[in-house]
Amino acid sequence: MDFSWIFEYQDLLLYGAFLTCLLLTISVTLGFALAILLAIAQVGRGSIARWLSKSYCTFFRGTPLLIQLWLIYYGLGSYLPHIPGLRSSFLWPVLREGLFFAALALTLNFAAYQGEILRGAMLAVPKGELEAARAVGMSPWMILRRIWLPRAIRIGLPTFAGEVVLQLKATPIVFSVTVMDLYGAAYKIRQDTLLVYEPLLLVTVFYVSLTFLITQGFQKLENAIPVRR
């Protein structure tokens, strides 16, 4: 085992770790917001919205993330330059980067899985609580904001922790669209130094520690919200 390359590649590794965390944060927060909309659409009354949300979840849960990523990066990416005015707009430096497409693909994918879980959690909220809320005269929007969603999120919390960990484990494939995340850094080190196992071992330790932190964090969060058993 030879780890003498660590200091030489310190900056690359740190930046890679930063990108991995950034991708995880972006996709989990934005994906969660989208998941709320997807779940509401599926438990709501509008049949078109329900059908759209259902098809969205089926597509993103039924195809590999790698295909979605390539579809968005190569497919969507090849159409973007043809949109008039986009090239000269201030958004172009962001839209040109692999990072943007990687974040988009990870977000859309996370939202589909999370939306399905949230839908189940919303259906698991006891009917009596929603009826009580209606009985005290809350508007549907207020019921959603004050009762239905908070209760559903509490019910789904143990599953969310698992989803976030799965999302972390899904991030390394962004290296296939030129994003130098932590795995991308390890890949480059392997190419430069011809060491196969050491860089992989180092980044593995990082992923496993981050997994540990995420599960601990969610455990704290779960304990912080009191529940009656």
How many angstroms separate the CA atoms of 208 and 215, rounded? 11
191 Cα distance to chain centroid: 29
Q: Which two tokens stand for residue 119?
A: 């839908």
How many angstroms separate the CA atoms of 32 and 51, rounded? 20
Nearest residue (CB) to other proteins, 64 versus 140: 64
Query: Minimum distance between the CB of residue 68 and other proteins, rounded to whole angstroms?
Result: 7
For the chain, how are helix, strand and coil distributed in percent, rounded to 5?
A: 80, 0, 20
Nearest residue (CB) to other proteins, 4 versus 78: 78
Query: Minimum distance between the CB of residue 125 and other proteins, rounded to whole angstroms?
Result: 17
**CA 185 to each of CA 38, 144, 150, 222: distance values in angstroms, whole numbers, following the listed order:** 35, 44, 39, 34
Nearest residue (CB) to other proteins, 112 versus 144: 112
Give the footprint of other proteins on this chain (CB under 8 A): 58-59, 61-68, 70-71, 74-79, 168-173, 176, 183, 196-197, 200, 203-204, 207-208, 211
Query: Minimum distance between the CB of residue 133 and other proteins, rounded to whole angstroms?
Result: 25
Nearest residue (CB) to other proteins, 6 versus 205: 205
Query: Minimum distance between the CB of residue 184 and other proteins, rounded to whole angstroms?
Result: 11
